[in-house]
Structure 1
Amino acid sequence: MTPRSAGLSAHGRPLQGLCLRLVHALILFPFCAVAVAQSAGDDPLPSWNDGQARSAIIGFVQKVTNEESADYVSPAERIATFDNDGTLWAEQPLYFQAIYALDRVRDLAPEHPEWQDTEPFKSAIDGDVKGLMASGMEGVMKVLLAAHSDVTGEAFTESVAQWLATSKHPTKGTAYTDLIYQPMLELMDYLRANGFKTFIVSGGGIDFIRVFAEDVYGIPPEQVMGTTGDATFEMRDGIPTIIKTGDIVLVDDKAGKPVGIYRQIGRRPIMAVGNSDGDLEMLQYTTIPRSDTDTTPRMGVLLHHTDAEREWAYDRQSSIGKLDQALDEAPERGWVVIDMKQDWRRVFPE
């Protein structure tokens, strides 16, 4: 039995720095009991209720891995891509990376007295999310870039690790890494056990997600894609150093997701899993045949947030994780729609 049976990496690289060791300890320990529970039976998806979604997923995996089946897909082509926010962990009431950025800007405020009277930084420092959102996407991006640029790669990693180790969700009162979805951990583990390679394809920042993805999801950093900022190389005091800049190379959302997949993976996935209209193009790219001769089995999956009691219920009108066009397109494309309230026996790890 390995931690990976709970969605953790069995062969993760040693974490560097005190903050990363803290995150490793805090994240790993709570899932030991989950790993023991999962090893007790042969059910690959113990946190899923019997239903159409579960049956469709298991049926798909069985047919693409059966060498006697006409739908067999070689292991090299078994690529599965997962969105992160709202698909692998929660995203309400604000994307967790955005909350990190607000906290980071407040920490940096003493070094930037001009921010005290300048929007959108004044709202960010005051914790005024409505005021920040009133500045539009341009204002939000200024705050995000200020929190993610002009810093070494190592310092940024330490900052995120420290934040994850010490911060609590504003309404749930628990660590952000406690708000990952147990059923999705099981799904990724099930896919990997059947020869799939799992990738994260997120609108969130690639450097942010890479801090925790291997230990939390079992996905190594080279299999993480996200919105990417530029960086430069310098020798500082004789030490090779990467400096994060404020220039965006790729916005890995909506149409940017297929572009990121094309650039980094170089193979078209046969399964894509998302939860919002930001994932629409990724599911289209994955599932729509390129020609009449393209008969490779493919699956699109959408997580519909319908559980207001255990998590949140939202879709078409939500400003975070809006699910509208993709929900309408799902029946036409044959995409599996997971109803969180009905299909998941458990939402978060215990």
Structure 2
Amino acid sequence: MSGDGPLSGLLVADFSRIVAGPYCTMLLGDLGAEVIKVESPAGDDTRTFKPPVRDEESTYYLAVNRNKRSVALDLADKGDLVLARRLAHRADVLVHNFKPGTTERYDLGYEQVAAANPGLVYCAISGFGTRGGAALPGYDLLIQAASGMMAMTGEADGAPLRTGISAIDVMTGLHAAVAVLAALNHRTATGHGQLLEIDLLSSALSSMINQSSAWVAGGVVPQRMGNEHPSLFPYGPLPTADRELIVVAGNDRQYRTLCDVLGRPDLAADPRFASVGLRNDHRDELRPELEAVLATRGADEWAGLLTRAGLPCGPINDVRRGVETATRLGLEPVVDVEGVPMVRNPVTYSLTPPRYRHRPPALDNAGESIRAWLASEVSAKEPLDA
């Protein structure tokens, strides 16, 4: 296997498609794992998610599929199915997001594969789990609706809205990657693999943190509040003389700093606004006082004054300006992966940095060499040549 990194030497059989699974396996690939992306002859659905494109390739597909090599296998074809099973038997990690019950029909279920490969870490991603929701298809938008995320996203008097990204898919992919790493650590200690099951709905409920806790622990159903925070004020966009500015006063000290910069120390001394809870209760009285002062200067001028005072604040950027901001701050957000600009892995390692070895693969780009390797009678852990 090629490359280095903390997961170098591990083989990941990636039977997943769209976002959650591919994002998980891309992160593993960034850390050095050899990832074989198994696709149907039609390819991953996201190859068709256009526009936008780069050189006729979907930028959606490109976003979550670097550091992989593709082989097209038709599981309905007996010969291809034999190769798919061989891959599963040789892998250290297998990730899929087939509907529950599908892999068992192909003798690719966990119990079936683990009988021949007991050290396998097998990660199965579904929409609604393997019990009452096993037959339900899982898509990010559907889970946002089912989980309550949409119901609390949008203006108070407006319609429920989805987030601007496939947030639940991404969070599920992150949870899956953490689970795989934990299971690999357990395997190192014990020699045993295991089955990992993660569903999008459970991942959504966990990732909604304070909002799901509001109901589970407090009996409160969160409602849409637009850009307002249910527990903090000011914490969001406020109008200035020219455009809105994000202003954060997450504690009493920050609020006092805000009042000092605005030249309104009386607002800090006002007993109605003396604590986080009181400011939250009296936000409708505090808001016009803050807006009146902010209206005297533009957003950039206020941002400079508030930032120098140590208060979190900033403009509302589009994605282009977001990347430019990260670049200006020295975060180097973009990497070139064999000619494809991509957003880098967000973690910086002092000793084992992520490696960007392969651009997102064309469909079946390594099919010939992978099929030959799988067809050969080599040892199960014989490496696949680069």
Shorter-chain TM-score category?
A: under 0.3
TM (normalized to structure 1)?
Answer: 0.25
TM (normalized to structure 2)?
Answer: 0.23
Which one has a bigger Cα radius of gyration? 2
Q: Which one has the bigger helix percentage?
A: 1
Q: Which has the higher contact order (CA 8 A, sep 6+)?
A: 1
